[in-house]
Structures are given as structure tokens and as C-alpha cells.
């Protein structure tokens, strides 16, 4: 009788720590990433797409995260993805003051930055206010015209918590 009671309790209350990503997302550290490799959008549209799916344009805060993203994008490029992937940096509010759109954190003051040499260069008459990663710039950071149609990378925090599996 005691044994059955114990088993019942275990059966009902076995919990399992889960820390996972939705289907179609790639896990790295505490984040889930989804690359839209066959959808192209302007930076503002890409921003909205990510939000619709409960995520945000990716924010790259460390060399470790940059390495992961570069590797991920290179593999996709080899599989046929075109050049140019939006991430979540912009200086559209104040020219030259780069920030991550999700958090408003200043990129200029971030310890880790990874601009390609000569970038951001605000190229062309219309300037460039949105951040992308270009294969031909080694997936380092570039400022780009925001209306360019490009693929994009969304990021969300991996779910953490407890799930009853009994
Ligand atoms: Ca991140
Ligand atoms: Ca700019
Ligand atoms: Ca540029």
C-alpha cells in the first residue's frame, strides 16, 4: 500500500527541467535562433516578422555568439542561401549611435563589437542605418540600406522551467 502510494506520488509529480526551443529553432547557449533563409524582407518587415513569432531580430553580444552565428550562416550559405542577413542593430534614430532595437542598449558602448573593417560606412546618398551580416564580409557587421530585401535571423530566449511528465 505504501509502495503504491509512493509510486503514485512519483508518477504524478516527476518533474523534468526543460530548457528548449520550439520546432525549427537552433539552440545555442540560452537562446533559440531561427533563420528565415527563404523569406526576404526589409529590415523593418524582418523586425515585425520576428515579433509575430515571439522573437526579435538577433542581438550579438559576445565573440562566442558571433562565432556561432557565423558558422550557422556559412552552412546555410553553402546550402544556397543568398548573401545578407538582417540582425537587430540600427542607427536610424540618431545617425552614428548604434543600438540593439529590442533592448535599446548602445552598441557603441558594448564591450564586444564586430564591424567589418571600414564599416559602418553609411555608403551611398541615402545612408545606411540597419545592420546585416554579409557573406563577402565574413559575416562581420555591416550597415546596410534598411529597404534592402534580405533574409533575417530571429532570436528568442530558450524556455526554462519545469514540466510535469508523470
Ligand atoms: Ca543574443
Ligand atoms: Ca547610419
Ligand atoms: Ca555599409
Question: pTM here?
Answer: 0.85
pLDDT value at position 160?
76
Q: Which of 32, 46, 29, 124 is nearest to 85 (CA)?
A: 46
Instruction: Give the distance (Å) from ligand 1 centre to CA of residue 11.
Output: 37
Instruction: Classify residue 143: in a domain, yes or no.
Output: yes
Instruction: Classify residue 8: in a domain, yes or no.
Output: no
Instruction: Give the distance (Å) from ligand 2 centre to CA of residue 41.
Output: 19
Domain with 136, as residue range(s), is 15-164
Which whole number is the average pLDDT over 114-143? 97
Which whole number is the average pLDDT over 56-82? 97
CA distance 28 to 46: 21
Instruction: Give the distance (Å) from ligand 1 centre to CA of residue 60.
Output: 5
CATH code: domain of residue 61: 3.10.100.10
Closest ligand to 118 CA? Answer: 3
Instruction: Classify residue 74: in a domain, yes or no.
Output: yes
Q: Based on C-alpha coordinates, what's the Rg of the chain? A: 20
Instruction: Give the distance (Å) from ligand 2 centre to CA of residue 123.
Output: 9
Segment 2-12, tens digit of pLDDT: 555 555 555 55
CA distance 98 to 88: 10
Comparing 11-15, 19-23, 57-61, 82-86, which segment has the lowest mean pLDDT?
11-15
Whether 17 has a pLDDT exceeding 90, the answer reads: no
Which whole number is the average pLDDT over 110-135? 97
CA distances from 161 to 9, 10, 17, 53, 164 (A): 20, 19, 6, 20, 10
Residue labelled with grid coordinates 540597419:
130
Instruction: Give the distance (Å) from ligand 3 centre to CA of residue 112.
Output: 19
Whether 25 has a pLDDT exceeding 60, the answer reads: yes
Instruction: Classify residue 5: in a domain, yes or no.
Output: no
Instruction: Classify residue 3: in a domain, yes or no.
Output: no
Instruction: Classify residue 4: in a domain, yes or no.
Output: no
Instruction: Classify residue 54: in a domain, yes or no.
Output: yes
Q: How confident is the model at residue 55 (pLDDT cuts 50, 70, 90)?
A: very high
Instruction: Classify residue 10: in a domain, yes or no.
Output: no
Q: How many structural domains are present in the chain?
A: 1
Instruction: Give the burial string for 40-60 (b: 16+ CB within 10 Å, else e).
Output: bbbbebbbebbeeeebbbbbb
CA distances from 137 to 20, 39, 65, 104, 141 (A): 32, 21, 17, 26, 8
Amino acid at each position: 500500500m505504501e509502495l503504491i502510494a509512493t509510486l503514485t506520488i512519483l508518477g504524478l509529480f516527476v518533474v523534468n527541467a526543460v530548457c528548449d526551443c520550439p520546432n525549427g529553432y537552433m539552440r545555442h547557449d540560452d537562446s533559440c535562433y531561427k533563420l528565415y533563409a527563404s523569406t526576404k524582407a526589409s529590415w523593418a518587415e524582418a523586425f515585425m516578422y520576428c515579433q509575430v513569432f515571439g522573437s526579435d531580430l538577433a542581438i550579438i553580444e559576445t565573440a562566442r555568439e558571433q562565432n556561432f552565428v557565423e558558422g550557422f550562416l556559412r552552412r546555410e550559405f553553402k546550402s544556397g542561401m543568398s548573401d545578407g542577413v538582417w540582425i537587430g542593430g540600427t542607427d536610424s534614430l540618431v545617425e552614428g549611435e548604434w543600438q540593439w532595437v529590442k533592448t535599446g542598449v548602445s552598441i557603441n558602448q558594448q564591450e564586444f563589437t564586430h564591424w567589418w573593417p571600414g564599416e559602418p560606412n553609411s555608403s551611398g546618398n541615402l545612408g545606411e542605418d540597419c545592420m546585416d551580416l554579409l557573406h563577402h564580409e565574413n559575416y562581420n557587421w555591416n550597415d546596410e540600406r534598411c529597404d534592402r530585401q534580405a533574409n533575417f535571423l530571429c532570436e528568442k530566449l530558450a524556455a526554462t522551467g519545469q514540466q510535469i511528465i508523470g
